[in-house]
Amino acid sequence: MTSIYPSCVVPRPIGWISTRSIDGKDNLAPYSQFNNLTFELHYLMLSANQTEHNNRKDTTINVETTEQTPYGKDEFTGADLKKIVSTILKHAVPMVDASPIRLECTYHSTLRLPGNSPMGTVDIIIGRVVGVHISDEVITDGLVDLSKVQPIARCGYYSYAVVRETFEMKPPEGKMAYRLKGSVAMNAEEQEERVKR
């Protein structure tokens, strides 16, 4: 029987997670259990289920052993994807050159949740974003233009969607608007106000 749950929380962004093992092997894997956690500081998460043989995913092993977010065979070569090397991380990690948005992350922590079966056990990996690279081609008026990025999202089962159209819903005016936008400047202003008090 097919579970209906995978289509209850959709659409889900897909992150191509690249890692490099201790012995220099590159790994690239798509994760639809992937999302942003905070706007300041920048943290994101991905969750990786174990295999049916009770083994942890290559991505999980590699991130924890090198503390950077690639183990196993080189999927870049198999997918015929050009690599570009990270510029901020202490140990260089490959990134997908064709991707319009690339995030460099360091490992923060892992939360391990048990399941009813080997594949049900999941590792939730939290990483801190230390570098953001955005292609000029997808920037319009200083903002990321999703109509140019056209990200692919997972919709459960084997269904996917492409974001080609968006609409705007402005937040309330005043300080709340800044908070909803995740403004670094607003946070700095609030800190100054607290110090003055």
Residue predicted with more confidence, 77 or 176 = 77
31-87 pLDDT, tens digit per residue, is: 999 999 998 889 999 999 988 888 888 888 888 887 665 444 567 877 888 999 888
Using pLDDT thresholds of 50, 70 and 90, give the confidence band for residue 20.
Answer: confident
What percent of the chain has a predicted confidence (pLDDT) above 90? Answer: 48
Alpha helices in the chain (DSSP H): 58-66, 75-78, 146-149, 175-181, 184-196
In this structure, how many other beta carbons lie within 10 angstroms of the beta carbon of residue 176?
11
Residue predicted with more confidence, 127 or 174 = 127
The per-residue pLDDT for 195 is 46
Phi-psi region of 82 (alpha: psi -120 to 50; beta: other; left: phi over 0): beta
Residue 194 has pLDDT above 50, yes or no: no
Using pLDDT thresholds of 50, 70 and 90, give the confidence band for residue 89.
Answer: confident
Tell me the three-class secondary structure of 22-43, residue by residue.
Answer: CCCCEEEEEECCEEEEEECCEE
Residue position matching structure tokens 């903002």 = 143
In this structure, how many other beta carbons lie within 10 angstroms of the beta carbon of residue 31?
20
pTM of the prediction?
A: 0.78
Residue 174, CB half-sphere, CA atoms under 13 Å: how many? Answer: 2
Domains and CATH numbers, the chain: 9-166 (2.30.110.10), 169-197 (no CATH)
Alpha carbon distance 146, 193 (integer Å):
35
